[in-house]
Amino acid sequence: MISIKNLNKIYTNEQISVHVLKDINLQISRGEFIAITGSSGSGKSTLMNIMGGLDSNFTGFYALNDVDVLSLDDKKISFIRNNSIGFVFQSFNLLKNITAIKNVELPLIYAKVSKRERSSRAFLALKSVGLEERINHFPNQLSGGQNQRVAIARAIVNNPDLILADEPTGNLDSVSEEEIMNIFLKLNKMGKTIVLVTHNEEVLKFCKRRIVLKDGIIIRDEMR
Ligand SMILES: Nc1ncnc2c1ncn2[C@@H]1O[C@H](COP(=O)(O)OP(=O)(O)OP(=O)(O)O)[C@@H](O)[C@H]1O
Ligand SMILES: [Mg+2]
């Protein structure tokens, strides 16, 4: 599903350039549940952004579902982002002034799905994360774990085959953390490929493969 070969990423500002990812080689198959870990600044989010098609400013090769991402124009990349990838972030990234169900409908609006189908699909996505009784709540009326479940519902509503989650439990207590990880586990069992960034040992236990980044280099890649 993901094929990365000799990928290098250098951030350049006016004064300095930082070599953040160094000759990364990584193959991820469909259906994997993989964690990327490593200390702060090791390049985890940079790698996730590239995998998610949010950053095309790199050298080397990256193919997602056999499509060479660097060969695509912005329009094609956004299409892939909207249809094949679900993103989950540490800080939820929900819109505060609209309800849970309206947040979940957003990707369907971009995908030009009809209004009626939008609300039924958003409802089903919220139901699948156990929030069918909270669909009309606003983000500030929900707990952290519930907000993250809304964010997961939003990530899966387009039925993507790849879910990218950057520290999805970083802002949560241990009970919510376990709930969220069980949802990822369920999604993985349904066939979704999950790539998750985490520092947390409890979270790592859920993942079947672990990659450790250090200073932009993969220093470990192990199955458990
Ligand atoms: N826009 C940018 N311009 C310049 N340097 C950047 C930029 N974004 C990130 N960096 C640098 O790239 C390196 C890797 O950053 P990245 O965000 O990928 O780390 P990370 O492993 O996700 O860290 P954390 O665990 O703290 O989230 C860091 O040294 C960071 O300072
Ligand atoms: Mg990061």
The structural domains of the chain, ordered by start, are 2-223 (3.40.50.300)
In tens, the pLDDT along 20-74 reads 999 999 999 999 999 999 999 999 999 999 999 999 999 999 999 999 999 999 9
Phi, psi of 19 (to 5 degrees): -85, 100
Name the amino acid, one letter, at 106.
L
How far, in Å, is the centroid of ligand 2 from the Cα of 119? 33
User: Measuring from atom 4 of ligand 1, which residue has the nearest CA?
Assistant: 11
Q: Which ligand is nearest to the Cα of residue 13, counting in written order? A: 1
How far, in Å, is the centroid of ligand 1 from the Cα of 219? 18
Query: If 0-12 CB within 10 Å is exposed, 13-18 middle and 19+ buried, where does residue 138 land?
Result: middle
DSSP 8-state code for residue 177:
H
How far, in Å, is the centroid of ligand 2 from the Cα of 54? 14
For the full predicted model, state whether its pTM sits above 0.85.
Answer: yes
Q: In terms of DSSP H, where are the helices of 111-143?
A: 115-128
**Residues 187, 156: Cα–Cα separation, whole Å:** 9
Contact (Cβ atoms closer than 8 angstroms) between residue 123 and residue 153: no
Name the amino acid, one letter, at 182.
N
Residue found under tokens 């819109």: 95
Residues with CB under 5 A from ligand 2 (ion): 45
**Residues 3, 68: Cα–Cα separation, whole Å:** 9
Of the pLDDT bands very low, low, confident and very high (cuts 50, 70, 90), residue 143 is very high
Name the amino acid, one letter, at 93.
N
Q: Which ligand is nearest to the Cα of residue 36, counting in written order? A: 1
Contact (Cβ atoms closer than 8 angstroms) between residue 172 and residue 144: yes
How far, in Å, is the centroid of ligand 2 from the Cα of 170? 11
For the cut 90, the answer to whether the pLDDT of residue 95 exceeds it is: yes
